Amino acid sequence: MQIEVVKSKIHRVTVTGADLNYIGSITIDEILMDAANLIEGEKVSIVNINNGERFDTYAIKGNRNSGDIILNGPAARKVHKGDIIIIMSYALMEFEAAKAFKPWLVFPNEKDNSLT
């Protein structure tokens, strides 16, 4: 039996922009993606702390050390610049393996989305 578990989580990061006219996705600072073990194109779930919105999209790599967290395309309607969000990805794994699995959890500074 396989179950779905949290693989990666970027907890309480600040939205720096929303671009309705972009194709779609969420742009995430490459440093945060690396720390959370996320890859470009990976499906992510977004939870907006400010308004309760929950939705899925995919990650694209932002400029390294930029602090960028930008929602693109239709997802831009679900956030505002300055909102606090949680970004999560999930993985399927065997039940017994899942018991021992430890996800990548990242807790950035909410003021500038840095890891310091």
- What pLDDT score does 116 carry? 81
Domains of the chain: 2-106 (2.40.40.20)
| Buried residues in 7-43 as b, exposed as e (16+ CB within 10 A) | bbbbbbbbbbebeeebeebbbbbbbbbbbbebeeebe
65-108 residue pLDDT tens: 999 999 999 999 999 999 999 999 999 999 999 999 999 999 99
Residues 40-66 have a mean pLDDT of 97
Catalytic center residues: 25, 58
Reported pTM: 0.96
